[in-house]
Amino acid sequence: MAFIYKNHILHERILPKKYIFSFKFFWYFFDLDELEETSKKSKFFSYNSFNLFSFYDKDHLNRNNKTSKENVIDFLKENEEFGEVKRINIITNLRFLGYVFNPVSYFFIEMVGGQEHCIIEIGNTYKEIKPYFVSNKHLKNNLFDVTKPKKFYISPFSELDNTMRFIISRPSEEINVNILDYQVKGDLELKANLKGVRQEFSDLGLIKAAVLKPFATLQIIMAIHIHALRIFLKKIPYFSKDKDQHLQQGFYSWK
């Protein structure tokens, strides 16, 4: 089971000054148990090897050189979920000609007992990744809705002791994600909304994605730096990566 999602994201800064930008890109949905089979059926997608598009286990939760599924199960156990896993799906960016940058990926986990969990995997431009565990108790009306302390350097224009609220729909024909970033005093600083529409995963679909958004993840990281410069020129307060390092918790380096 694999799909392509055609997405549109709107990013809006509210404090201390207004700033809005948006862009379009593609996301890719996989059942982790079917990555090898999907790779064998495609000319332009490969699992753990170079191609036009590739998925590498080492790009996700890679703390001990295991497969993505094994690492997800280990992370579940770290969060006191010891039940048997039925299925693990992921929505993420793929490597394009060997290059990838993932601002955020989502694992959707189904347990044999019927519980469902989510892992939010956020990456920054320093090649650091932090996973956030969202348990079944935060799933209501097909939405994962959870608030987490950030404790991670994501943006130089947002403090580490902010809190983030994630509202994530289960992936189906459409996907909808809202991320709200709150200051310590409770004021909403910025918000992001992503809407995606599911399409068939096929070689033709991959070629279309390559034509419409070549080097999409490179474009994303370039856009991050361009918009960061514009925000800086608006004289919005800048926070150094060296500041408050004791608040940068639970992340690991991605290479």
DSSP 72-139: HHHHHHHTT--SPEEEEEEEE--EETTB---SEEEEEEEETTS-EEEEEEEE-TTSEEEEEEE-GGGE
The neighbour count for residue 197, using CB atoms within 10 Å, is 12
**pLDDT tens column, 145-189:** 999 999 999 999 999 999 999 999 999 999 999 999 999 999 999
Q: Say how many domains are in the chain.
A: 1
Structure tokens at 79: 């969060």
The angle formed by the CA atoms of residues 13, 217 and 142, to the nearest 5 degrees, is 65
* 3-state SS assignment for residue 40: helix
Report the distance separating Cα 156 and Cα 147, nearest Å: 21
The band of 55, judged by pLDDT with boundaries at 50, 70 and 90, is very high
Q: For residue 93, what are the domain limits?
A: 2-253
In sequence order, what DSSP letters do the residues of 166-190 get, joined into one string? Answer: EEEEPPSSEEEEEEEEE-TTS-EEE
Q: What element of type H or E holds 56?
A: none
Give the end-to-end CA distance of the chain in Å, rounded to a whole number.
Answer: 28
- The model's pTM is 0.95
Picking from 18, 22, 14, the residue whose alpha carbon sits closest to that of residue 234 is: 18
Residue 124 contacts residue 153 (beta carbons within 8 Å): yes
The band of 248, judged by pLDDT with boundaries at 50, 70 and 90, is very high
Residue 255 contacts residue 136 (beta carbons within 8 Å): no
Query: Is the dihedral angle over the CA atoms 124, 61, 181, 197 positive or is it negative?
Result: positive
Contacts of 23 (CB under 8 A, 6+ apart): 8, 9, 219, 220, 223
The neighbour count for residue 29, using CB atoms within 10 Å, is 21
Residue 40 contacts residue 30 (beta carbons within 8 Å): no
Residue type, 230: R
Predicted local confidence at residue 255, as pLDDT:
65
Whether 192 has a pLDDT exceeding 80, the answer reads yes
**pLDDT tens column, 108-141:** 999 999 999 999 999 999 999 999 999 999 999 9
Predicted local confidence at residue 224, as pLDDT:
86
Report the distance separating Cα 17 and Cα 176, nearest Å: 26
Report the distance separating Cα 41 and Cα 36, nearest Å: 9
